[in-house]
Amino acid sequence: MELTKTDLLELLENECSKSFGCSLKEASKKQAYKTLCAVVRDILSKKRKSFKEEIYAKERKQVYYMSMEFLVGTSLRNNLFNLKLESKFASVLKGLGFDIQELYDMEPDAGLGNGGLGRLASCYMDSMTNMALPGTGFSIRYEFGIFRQKIVDGWQMEFPDDWLSMGDVWLRPREDEAFEVKFGGNVASYEENGRLCFRHENYNSVMAVPYDMFISGYGSRAVNKLVLWSAKSPSKNSIDLRYFVRGEHLKALEQNTMAEVISKVLYPADDHIEGKRLRLKQQYLLVSASLQSIISLHLKKYGNIQSLPDKVAIHINDTHPALCVPELMRILLDEYSLSWDEAWDITCRTLSYTNHTVMSEALERWNEGLFRELLPRVYQIVCEINRRLVEGLFAKYPGDVAKIDYMAAISGGEVKMANLCLAACHKINGVSKLHSEILKDSLFHDYYAITPERFTNVTNGIAYRRWLCQSNPALTKLLRELIGDGFMKDSMALEDLLRYSGDKAVIDALAAVKRVNKERLASYISGANGINVNPDSLFDVQIKRLHEYKRQLLNALQIIRMYLRIKENPNLDIPPRTFIFAAKASSGYFMAKQIIRLICSIAETVNADPVVREKIKVVFLEDYKVSLAEIIIPAAEISEQISIAGKEASGTGNMKLMINGAVTLGTLDGANVEIHEQVGDENMFLFGLHADEVEALWRRGYDPHSYVRRNAELNEVLRTLKTGVFGSNFDDIYNSLLSNAYGTADAYMALADFEDYARTQDRVSATYRDAYTFGNMSLVNIAKAGIFSSDRAVGEYAKNIWYMK
């Protein structure tokens, strides 16, 4: 039954009086926000109950999505939109004196992720729910999510993100359903009924307490949940009496804080990996608690463990939860007394794995000693998996020690997590066509050669109802007028917009929408950075994590080129442009922080120059996060996707920008290749080396100097890094491009692609002058973006990987 406004009013008043002992008329804004969230959560909770009963009765297969990250962002508007209750609640609240937008603005982002991989996990939860697939996400309830970024004199500073004070409204703790997770200690063996058994002894226990967050789907009967584990000390009163009675009071509390530190903070790195003990503890907490929970639910319903792969699919989101492989084996062997072969068969058929990166720095390996010390029984199992793996490989490739070493789960004193997944999972996929080919051809080639049937591709997708319908209401309204609202359920219906290709009135209407969104972003920029940008200028956007392979530096070098050209010719006739950046750098990533400093310095010089600033402006927005992306993306006209070809696994920002009408300026990397397939040369600005050319150039020997010698303009640009044109010197950046002692200068080939990039940027300027040509490119991009819906992606996972009905 449908909720009326009277119902909503009653629900709100009851909740407010229950929680705050007052009526909404007397409530503060904060109280009203918490009241509203609690009411929405209760509505979802009721729906959840009936959906749960339905899937239970139908014995439907369940998918569990294991991820160290879910970049949820905000939930209130999303939930109201999905429940189709937004306007009713808005009007009821208005009657009580509250503006719903102001309540939305109070919600902090749940920033439980770094970037693409984490946001993808959240988009997939949304889509599973839209499609009424029974899916549960498992992750960690980090007390502090991704750090808040401030820029001080061009330097990135990191501050803790205390999101729970206002964000915990969505979390429902289930204290009494905690699971014990064991660390350290030793393993004793004994014999029982002729079987060799193992007992984990002298371990330290940590309790994993689940917190549920409900996930709503658009006009869907389903409500799924995200389960976040929080680490708690097992001792009842949080004091270890063994120490307390000896008078060691501090030590008695230490164990407690040691346990709870596990879920304190998200690791803010998405590039190079430090083998930190705490990170391994986090991974095991997630894996062990989740598997215990999954298996106990399964047994309660089905009564036998053998049916696990038929009723349960467990997905490993990159290698971070790869401990699923040995931990599931451990549970099956030690707790259910299965034979090795039986346990292995169940494990392989239940698990699947997605790879999200080909960067070798990001391939997870753990020091064997650390691994053994922290997880002694799991380590034994990894050793046995490895022994059997290597034995099999030896039979296949007798004497090919290098190959076997490369494929082993343990080698060179390290446990290699990707190889554990490759050895076990029944399906392995990349996240774009190009990326999946690269996995087969190079990174995972040796595994592909033995079992090609396990390898597949699922090109990423986005929850476009959030990224288009909710964050760009003006465009959504226009689209509904033009093509009806079929696209809100089926993204492929966006193609109907092609009917209006070349239609000047429609292109004008799209431009008017873009203009509204640009004004909104301009006002945000003026508030945040104190910079006034011209809403009639071209908004050129590069928003993503800061990494050398993503080449924000290439963008910056081109801006320097434009700056020098304007200085040389103050009458240079180009359409005004605003370059907008937002990016967080890993806290320990020195070069990334230098690049932020360079961009900020360019911004200062450019924006202060009375002549230059009439033609170009540069803005670095601090603290990039989901809710900021939702403001920038609708206003973007050019989407910079300029990674060195072969390194960006997919990219998903490119899809969000595309569906909002931005035109891609990019290399043939990741999903850009498939965007190109959709829109063609004429609706995209492509440049740069292709992935195979990059490879070939590496093999030939890459010499960045040769490009500088050939291109006087590039030489001038690079000189500014040394001569202090932008306030100070950027020797470290200069050296990274030209004089790295180890022959790895300019490892991401910014200089090789510079000339083509600059020429293409000029083409962008020329095209932008013709509003109809550019506007029509934008139209085609919106129309062709439907394929990049996460509904499509999740549908492919469900069918080809999780084997769900």
Question: Across the beta sheet with 365-367, what order do the strands follow?
Answer: 365-367, 414-416, 410-411
Local structure of residue 175 (DSSP, 8 states): G
**797 interacts with ligand 26Q by CB under 6 A:** no
Q: Which is nearer to ligand 26Q, 115 or 535 (CB)?
A: 115
Q: Which position among 35, 62, 78, 114 is part of the footprint of ligand 26Q (CB under 6 A)? A: 114
Q: Which is nearer to ligand 26Q, 265 or 409 (CB)?
A: 265
Query: Which DSSP string do the residues of 576-598 spell out, in sequence order?
Result: -EEEEEE----TT-HHHHHHHHH
**651 interacts with ligand 26Q by CB under 6 A:** yes
Q: Could you say which of 544, 565, 615, 647 is catalytic?
A: 544
Number of residues that bind ligand 26Q (CB under 6 A): 23
Q: Which is nearer to ligand 26Q, 183 or 500 (CB)?
A: 183
**552 interacts with ligand 26Q by CB under 6 A:** no
Q: Select from 55-63, 226-234, 646-654, 714-722 the region that touches ligand 26Q (CB under 6 A).
A: 646-654
Query: Which DSSP string do the residues of 56-113 spell out, in sequence order?
Result: HHTT--EEEEE-S-EEEE--HHHHHHHTT-HHHHHHHHHHTT--HHHHHHHPPPEEES
Count, in order, helices (H) and strands (E) of the chain.
34, 25
Q: Could you say which of 148, 320, 545, 647 is catalytic?
A: 545
3 state SS for 461-500: CECHHHHHHHCCHHHHHHHHHHHCCHHHCCHHHHHHHHHH
Q: Which is nearer to ligand 26Q, 338 or 668 (CB)?
A: 668
Q: Select from 263-271, 377-385, 491-499, 772-780 the region that touches ligand 26Q (CB under 6 A).
A: 263-271
Q: Is 652 a catalytic residue?
A: yes
The rounded distance, in Å, linking the Cα atoms of 358 and 442 is: 9
The rounded distance, in Å, linking the Cα atoms of 726 and 597 is: 10
The rounded distance, in Å, linking the Cα atoms of 458 and 432 is: 6
- In total, the chain counts a number of residues equal to 805
Q: Which position among 15, 648, 746, 753 is part of the footprint of ligand 26Q (CB under 6 A)? A: 648
Q: Which position among 147, 211, 218, 267 is part of the footprint of ligand 26Q (CB under 6 A)? A: 267
The rounded distance, in Å, linking the Cα atoms of 550 and 555 is: 10
Q: Is 377 a catalytic residue?
A: no
Q: Select from 113-121, 159-167, 572-580, 753-761 the region that touches ligand 26Q (CB under 6 A).
A: 113-121
**548 interacts with ligand 26Q by CB under 6 A:** no
Contact residues for 324 (Cβ-Cβ < 8 A; gap 6+): 66, 287, 291, 314, 316, 351
Please give the helix or strand (H or E) that residue 351 lies within, else none. Answer: strand 351-354
The rounded distance, in Å, linking the Cα atoms of 215 and 480 is: 26
Q: Select from 38-46, 189-197, 265-273, 441-449 the region that touches ligand 26Q (CB under 6 A).
A: 265-273
Tell me how far, at minimum, the Cβ of 67 lies from ligand 26Q, in Å: 10
Reference 54, options 224, 293, 215; nearest CA is 224
Backbone angles phi, psi at 757, to 5 degrees: -65, -45
Reference 534, options 498, 580, 586, 500; nearest CA is 580
What binding mask, one character per residue, do residues 153-192 give for ligand 26Q by CB under 6 A, x or -?
----------------------------------------
Strand pairing class (148-152; 155-159)? antiparallel
Local structure of residue 359 (DSSP, 8 states): -
Q: Is 545 a catalytic residue?
A: yes
Interface with ligand 26Q in residues 363-402 (CB under 6 A):
364
Q: Which position among 362, 498, 509, 631 is part of the footprint of ligand 26Q (CB under 6 A)? A: 362
Q: Which is nearer to ligand 26Q, 156 or 672 (CB)?
A: 672
Query: Which DSSP string do the residues of 669-734 spell out, in sequence order?
Result: -TTHHHHHHHH-GGGSEE-S--HHHHHHHHHH---HHHHHHH-HHHHHHHHHHHHTTTSS--HHHH
**269 interacts with ligand 26Q by CB under 6 A:** yes
Q: Which position among 650, 678, 778, 789 is part of the footprint of ligand 26Q (CB under 6 A)? A: 650
**652 interacts with ligand 26Q by CB under 6 A:** yes
What binding mask, one character per residue, do residues 730-769 give for ligand 26Q by CB under 6 A, x or -?
----------------------------------------
Q: Which position among 347, 456, 460, 552 is part of the footprint of ligand 26Q (CB under 6 A)? A: 460
N-terminal to C-terminal alpha carbon distance within the chain:
28
The rounded distance, in Å, linking the Cα atoms of 281 and 260 is: 11
Local structure of residue 770 (DSSP, 8 states): S
**321 interacts with ligand 26Q by CB under 6 A:** no
Please give the helix or strand (H or E) that residue 55 lies within, else none. Answer: helix 29-57
**228 interacts with ligand 26Q by CB under 6 A:** no
Q: Which position among 133, 425, 559, 649 is part of the footprint of ligand 26Q (CB under 6 A)? A: 649
Q: Could you say which of 350, 459, 652, 720 is catalytic?
A: 652
Q: Which position among 141, 200, 356, 466 is part of the footprint of ligand 26Q (CB under 6 A)? A: 356
**270 interacts with ligand 26Q by CB under 6 A:** yes
**117 interacts with ligand 26Q by CB under 6 A:** yes
Q: Which position among 108, 115, 145, 376 is part of the footprint of ligand 26Q (CB under 6 A)? A: 115
Tell me how far, at minimum, the Cβ of 643 lies from ligand 26Q, in Å: 8
Question: Which residue number places its CB atom closest to ligand 26Q?
Answer: 116
Contact residues for 27 (Cβ-Cβ < 8 A; gap 6+): 16, 20, 35
Q: Could you say which of 617, 656, 664, 667 is catalytic?
A: 656
Q: Select from 16-24, 228-236, 326-334, 650-658 the region that touches ligand 26Q (CB under 6 A).
A: 650-658
Q: Which position among 431, 553, 721, 794 is part of the footprint of ligand 26Q (CB under 6 A)? A: 431
The tokens of 356 are what?
């999200």
Q: Which position among 108, 116, 309, 786 is part of the footprint of ligand 26Q (CB under 6 A)? A: 116
**670 interacts with ligand 26Q by CB under 6 A:** yes
Contact residues for 96 (Cβ-Cβ < 8 A; gap 6+): 12, 24, 25, 32
Reference 271, options 689, 747, 697, 704; nearest CA is 747
Q: Select from 188-196, 647-655, 723-731, 759-767 the region that touches ligand 26Q (CB under 6 A).
A: 647-655
Residue with tokens 């022959």: 743
Q: Which is nearer to ligand 26Q, 36 or 462 (CB)?
A: 462
The rounded distance, in Å, linking the Cα atoms of 678 and 353 is: 27
Tell me how far, at minimum, the Cβ of 411 lies from ligand 26Q, in Å: 19
Q: Which is nearer to ligand 26Q, 232 or 544 (CB)?
A: 544
Q: Is 799 a catalytic residue?
A: no
**686 interacts with ligand 26Q by CB under 6 A:** no
Please give the helix or strand (H or E) that residue 435 lies within, else none. Answer: helix 433-438
Q: Which is nearer to ligand 26Q, 15 or 69 (CB)?
A: 69
Q: Are 796 and 315 in contact (CB under 8 A)?
A: no
Q: Is 356 a catalytic residue?
A: yes
Q: Select from 110-118, 123-131, 751-759, 768-776 the region that touches ligand 26Q (CB under 6 A).
A: 110-118
Residue 581: beta bridge partners?
Answer: 542, 620
Strand pairing class (365-367; 70-73)? unpaired
Q: Select from 38-46, 354-362, 677-685, 746-754 the region that touches ligand 26Q (CB under 6 A).
A: 354-362
The rounded distance, in Å, linking the Cα atoms of 631 and 517 is: 8
Tell me how far, at minimum, the Cβ of 649 lies from ligand 26Q, in Å: 4
Q: Select from 111-119, 161-169, 559-567, 701-709 the region that touches ligand 26Q (CB under 6 A).
A: 111-119
Tell me how far, at minimum, the Cβ of 269 lies from ligand 26Q, in Å: 4
Interface residues toward ligand 26Q, by CB under 6 A = 114-117, 120, 267, 269-270, 273, 279, 320, 356-357, 362, 364, 431, 460, 648-652, 670
**Which residues belong to the active site?**
356, 544-545, 550, 652, 656
